[in-house]
A and B are shown apart, each in its own frame.
Chain A
């Protein structure tokens, strides 16, 4: 990390820590959303950006994580301090099972992506039939303690959720930074660039790919727990939907796959621009459902066509900071 990167990070941290003092409720909710997608994108990036395994079914882990913690809280009053471990355990099991099946049977590329979609869709329809978790009618967590700070039960003010998400996003960034510099990080990049060559060098590609899936699914499970307690309602139709998976991966793709700040930058660009556009259109009286998504689509199209490595790598070079 050079000096410029350090200073920029410091300024950004101070800004983000002080944001709730400056911002109104709307801005704070946007900031929380950006941090949420930055975090989830970071988790997805471990699998795709680092190890080169394209998952289009990350909504599976968000959903299972969310339902695990919310179910415990709803039925037994056990808070997310315990639920989060159940969520992580379930998602790690799921991720390991999918990874094991896929990598043992030699499924890669398009087929692997389709397999992840199939598992997410299978689970979505399955959850529609679990009455214990509300089925298609949804699962609702009671909103309470909107002024306080109950971190153990994740019940509290919007500022609390903001800081929790900020902490998670910063933690994910740090973890990814360490991972990328570790033995695993180098092995993953070798596998991503050329799996056969990596194997020929004696890297146990199966084991390292499994590790990427497990870490990624565990991280995404935590995002799911946060989602459940922040929004207080869960519907299988929404949380497991493929468009949710795509939303998660938009940030890293627009920001820059495989980079550390790409997912954060991409999520910020996308959400700020999309909300800006929605606001402007609303001011003009053009409120149609779908306008925001068309905008997402156009940005994505332009980025994949003209900046295949994402916006951040180009920008970082210009600014003289590390990626």
Chain B
């Protein structure tokens, strides 16, 4: 095994990991503010992936362009889902919220199965197969661009929470539900806004993911679990933790193929999840509750 081969794998894992991170960021933001675990997260992402496939097949739209309409549609969808369905559940017990989103997830997966069938779909673009030579390293162009878009989207989200008025208001709602209400914030509106933003993040991640892998309906639950692993490892509710977790899982999945059987690579992820849950339940970057 040569060093540059390992380096190539690490870079590929890092780039994929950034897209994973963006997906998990959506989950983390929603949990951090609304305190609801979105059990339909991966399923929503596969819907975004299918949306990109359909837009490409129908209008020849490049997924880098279809990001915009898909994200906008997901924002509206997420906003409506929170405002219409999830909001009454905010004060219900956890298992009740869980089951609600499990129900949403089951409907989504199987609706996709009915519409698109079980076979894999993808987007075929010539430049996805090209790679850029950087000295001894080969970087996949599709992966590189996808990772750049993921970074840009995350940066935008960070900036929104740091500087925008609405972003600050959302942070206030997350920090102190009652306090936010007292100072006159419309908490349920900000919750819906957060869910919309998280969904939009997810839509971007989905459009980028379709450049990297083929999509089938059953990927949904697998991505939900992956998002959980990433977010728990990074720290549920921590934004930078989600990105770090994504990169960590991306790189380790890429490396796992070298050392253990590729089919056993997610065993490593779940093992990591168990260890983090037991020894550092607040996650690597999370604060203690």
Contacts and interface: CB of A to CB of B under 8 A. Distances in A.
Contacts, number: 115
A204 interface: no
B53 interface: no
B113 interface: yes
B228 interface: yes
Nearest to A299: B103
Interface in A288-323: 288-291, 293-294, 296-298, 300-301, 304-305, 308
B107 A118 contact: no
A113, A243, A297, A308 — most chain B CB neighbours (10 Å): A297
A129 B264 contact: yes
Nearest to A53: B95
Nearest to B273: A118
A300 B106 contact: yes
A242 interface: yes
Interface string A236-264: 00000011001001000100010000000
B263 A115 contact: no
Nearest to A298: B107
Interface stretch (B3-11, B151-159, B208-216, B274-282): B274-282
B118 A289 contact: yes
B189 to A, nearest CB: 21
Contacts of A296: 106
A101 interface: yes
Contacts of B111: 290, 294
A54 B94 CA distance: 9
A114 B114 contact: no
A311 B77 CA distance: 30
A137 interface: no
A241 to B, nearest CB: 8
A126 B99 contact: no
Contact of A114 (B106, B118, B277): B277
A111 interface: yes
A304 B263 contact: no
A109 interface: yes
B50 to A, nearest CB: 14
Range of interface residues on A (Cβ < 8 Å): 35 or more
Given A109-B94, A110-B37, A125-B264, A246 B106 contact: yes
Contact of B274 (A115, A136, A291, A294): A115
A246 B221 CA distance: 12
B110 A290 contact: yes
Interface string A117-136: 11101100110110000001
A111 B270 contact: no
A125 B110 contact: no
Contact of B104 (A48, A136, A301): A301
A101 B277 CA distance: 10
A288 B114 contact: yes
Contacts of A54: 94-95, 98
A12 to B, nearest CB: 27
Interface in B84-119: 85, 88, 92, 94-96, 98-100, 102-107, 109-111, 113-114, 118
Contacts of A109: 94
B232 A101 contact: no
Contact of A243 (B95, B98, B221): B221
Interface in B255-280: 261, 263-264, 266-267, 270-271, 273-274, 277-279
A145 B30 CA distance: 56
Given A128-B263, A289-B118, A294-B114, A114 B104 contact: no
B273 A107 contact: no
A48 B95 contact: yes
B128 interface: no
B225 interface: yes
A45 B264 CA distance: 32
Nearest to A246: B102
Nearest to A109: B94
B273 A114 contact: yes
B267 A297 contact: no
Contacts of A26: none
Contact of A300 (B94, B102, B217, B221): B102
A231 interface: no
A105 interface: yes
Interface of B: 37, 85, 88, 92, 94-96, 98-100, 102-107, 109-111, 113-114, 118, 217, 221, 225, 228-229, 232, 261, 263-264, 266-267, 270-271, 273-274, 277-279, 281
11 contacts: A105-B279, A107-B277, A111-B277, A113-B94, A115-B277, A115-B278, A122-B271, A290-B109, A300-B102, A300-B106, A301-B107
Interface of A: 48, 54, 56, 101, 105-107, 109-111, 113-115, 117-119, 121-122, 125-126, 128-129, 136, 242-243, 246, 249, 253, 257, 288-291, 293-294, 296-298, 300-301, 304-305, 308
Given A54-B98, A110-B98, A298-B107, 18 more contacts: A54-B95, A105-B277, A105-B281, A107-B277, A110-B37, A110-B94, A113-B98, A117-B228, A119-B274, A122-B271, A288-B114, A289-B113, A290-B109, A290-B113, A294-B107, A294-B114, A300-B103, A304-B103
Which 7 A-B residue pairs are closest in the complex by CB-CB distance?
A: A297-B106, A290-B110, A290-B113, A297-B107, A301-B103, A300-B103, A293-B110
